[in-house]
Amino acid sequence: MTTQILGRSRTNLHLHKNLSFLLGYLVSKSTATSSSSSFQSGGVPFVKCRHAPPPYASSLLGNNSATRLCFWRSESTKAEAQLDLQHYVSEDEDEQVIDFPGGKVAFTPEMTFMAESGQKRVPCYRVLDNNGEPVTFSNYVQVSKEMAVKMYSTMITLQTMDNIFYEVQRQGRISFYLTSAGEEAVNIASAAALSSDDIILPQYREPGVLMWRGFTPQQFADQLFGNTNDFGKGRQMPIHYGSKKHNYLTVSSPIATQLPQAVGAAYSLKMEGKSACAVTYCGDGSTSEGDFHAALNFAAVMEAPVVFICRNNGWAISTPVEQQFRSDGIVVKGQAYGIRSIRVDGNDALAVYSAVHTAREMAIREKRPVLIEALTYRVGHHSTSDDSTKYRPVDEIEYWKMARNPVNRFKRWVERNGWWSEKDELELRSRVREQLLQAIKAAEKEQKPPLEDMFNDVYDQLPSNLKEQERELRETMKKHPSDYPSDVPL
């Protein structure tokens, strides 16, 4: 097909809006039929279109011999529908569209730079307001009474576990801990929206996801104390949970390494034809790592069914987001890599549940990655090694802790539905606290893994260099027994 505007007048050719409308008219889909008889006018050949040109065509293109309109009717409506600006050329300008690898790109004579950001920030999807009232006209995935009660109960369990284990660390009984305070909705609501077949690649602030899948208070305690019942045999730092049974890959300390790994896991699910996806979590600080960008590009190009959930909690330890990036948060970074993305209120459990539930369906059904940016707030310190009051105002922390508390917001909605009472609250908190205290006592009494477990489980046959390391360590421990734990079996 060819569509040409022949002329020397730049003034006429640069009337882009009117010209685009005219071209759209010329190639418009029409059911009218007429013969494509040719005729001559002023020595320039024309091919008659289905309809006469609009009345302003003469004034737009001119009637002199220097400016002529030539358009061709395809032999079928299907072919005609494929007519585009690729063939729109002028005598003294290059083609107006370049068919470049990756897609056609239109030319423009105007030098225009893309704005560094939009005039308005990307809106944030939510369902419940701060008082737990559904927002007018909000659309969300319905949650049953059973699901809602379990979600709220698990939030309380996570909250209670964090408070107790934080104090245990402060007492010197475990070496390290961090809480999910302020981010309980992201943890529990996202977990509730997933299937047990989905593979989870967490960061380190997602214990609620593992809790939802059935990891017990005793198993949490065993990992924190690093005893013989710990699946990692005491070789990981506390809070570095993992469970093959629950499709929850072990937490890794280096930031963002789980993201490209999640894409690989998702691609394997796609190749095997499984109705499941990979789900990986990260904080806003992880988006400053190269692994984040590599993972998004990898996922988009390979069309891997992976859901990226970024907890934008405002702070990467002591670094605020405004010192990390100038973009409009995280959600626009997904669009830059060609990934469908959404920004959601991370303190609204119903919004998180709905967004993750829908994202999972899209990832599996359409074999595509999805990015979710959850705007939440880390109420607690980054970890027991941090004092967040040194870099952010206390009144800011208190505001998010009280006025924007995700657990309290969801509680109001559950209570308003008649699904929860104060009696239920007291019984749950008392029961969970007792279970955790008993788990801690049992974990402390368990023996530590033997020294040899530091070296096994990597190679089928222990190499000579590791044998040498083990021998030297045993000799050193015998010479300096006071420098090493006395409860580690030799």
Alpha-carbon distance of 339 to 111, in angstroms, equals: 28
268 is catalytic: no
Task: Using CA atoms of 18, 20, 21, 24 in order, give the dihedral in degrees to the nearest 10.
Answer: 160
Residue type, 138: S
pLDDT computed for residue 94 by the predictor: 52
Q: Considering only CA atoms, which of 363, 350, 404, 434 is closest in space to residue 143?
A: 350
CB 304 within 8 A of CB 277: no
Bridge partners (DSSP) listed for residue 341: 371
Q: Which two tokens stand for residue 350?
A: 């119903």
The residues near 399 (Cβ < 8 Å, ≥ 6 apart) are none
Crossing angle of helices 145-170 and 184-192, rounded to 10°: 140
pLDDT computed for residue 96 by the predictor: 86
How many C-beta atoms lie closer than 10 Å to residue 92's C-beta?
10
Q: Considering only CA atoms, which of 391, 21, 74, 347 is closest in space to residue 188?
A: 347
Alpha-carbon distance of 315 to 322, in angstroms, equals: 9
Bridge partners (DSSP) listed for residue 229: none
Alpha-carbon distance of 311 to 474, in angstroms, equals: 44
pLDDT computed for residue 255 by the predictor: 95
DSSP H helices, 34-132, are 57-61, 77-81
List the catalytic residue out of 206, 286, 382, 388: 382
DSSP 8-class letter at 482: G
253 is catalytic: yes
289 is catalytic: no
Phi–psi pair at 322, nearest 5 degrees: -70, -15
Bridge partners (DSSP) listed for residue 105: 98
List the catalytic residue out of 91, 167, 396, 475: 167
Q: Which two tokens stand for residue 20?
A: 């685009």
Alpha-carbon distance of 269 to 304, in angstroms, equals: 9
CB 289 within 8 A of CB 315: no
CB 286 within 8 A of CB 329: no
Handedness of CA 71, 76, 81, 83 (dihedral sign): negative
CB 437 within 8 A of CB 448: no
51 is catalytic: no
pLDDT computed for residue 374 by the predictor: 98
pLDDT computed for residue 25 by the predictor: 40
The residues near 88 (Cβ < 8 Å, ≥ 6 apart) are 3, 4, 5, 23, 95, 96, 97
CB 406 within 8 A of CB 346: yes
List the catalytic residue out of 28, 117, 253, 430: 253
Q: Which two tokens stand for residue 293?
A: 């960008």
pLDDT computed for residue 247 by the predictor: 98
End-to-end CA distance of the chain: 82
pTM: 0.80
Burial 95-109 (b: 16+ CB within 10 A, else e): ebbeeeeeeeeeeee
pLDDT along the chain (490 residues), means of 10: 38 41 40 38 37 42 39 39 42 69 90 85 96 95 98 98 98 97 98 98 98 98 98 96 98 97 98 98 97 98 98 95 94 96 98 98 98 97 96 96 97 98 97 98 97 93 96 95 90
SS3 content of the chain, % helix, strand, coil (to 5): 40, 10, 45
The label of the residue with tokens 């595509």 reads 368
Tell how far CA 120 is from the center of its chain.
21
Bridge partners (DSSP) listed for residue 201: 280
List the catalytic residue out of 90, 190, 286, 383: 383
